[in-house]
Amino acid sequence: MNQILEITPAELKARLESGEAVQMIDVREDEEVAAGMIPGAKHIPLGQIPDRLDEIEKTQETILICRSGYRSERACEYLTEMGYPSCVNLVGGMLAWT
């Protein structure tokens, strides 16, 4: 299996603060995102990703986000298998974001 690329919350914050347009997918469930999301992230719960691939730009880097980093890592693995070449996992997820 390929190594999953990772980004730290500090690295992502710096990129967002510099004005970089970043494709972010939050794979948490509805009740989790109700407590807050990273501005600019798109919400696609993990279980819906196979049915919503058309909403994810294939040629762009995709940063995946969940609560702790486990589900987003699974999403990275799945998307890589589906031909998405630039998937990146947010280390520590939203727990590390604050």
Q: The CATH number of the domain where 89 resides is what?
A: 3.40.250.10
Q: Percentage of the chain surpassing pLDDT 70?
A: 98
Q: Does residue 18 lie in a domain region? A: no
Q: Does residue 80 lie in a domain region? A: yes
Confidence of residue 98 (pLDDT cuts 50, 70, 90): confident
Q: Does residue 5 lie in a domain region? A: no
Choice among 12, 66, 76, 87 that is catalytic: 66
The pTM score is: 0.95
Q: Is 80 exposed, middle or buried (0-12, 13-18, 19+ CB in 10 A)?
A: middle
Note if 66 is an active site residue: yes
At 47, is the secondary structure helix, strand, or coil?
Answer: helix
Q: Does residue 93 lie in a domain region? A: yes
pLDDT of residue 2: 61
Domains: count for the chain: 1
Q: Does residue 13 lie in a domain region? A: no
Confidence of residue 21 (pLDDT cuts 50, 70, 90): very high
Q: For residue 53, how many other CB atoms are within 10 A of its CB?
A: 15
Confidence of residue 3 (pLDDT cuts 50, 70, 90): confident
**Residue-range definition of the domain harbouring residue 47:** 23-97
Distance from chain centroid for Cα 20: 16
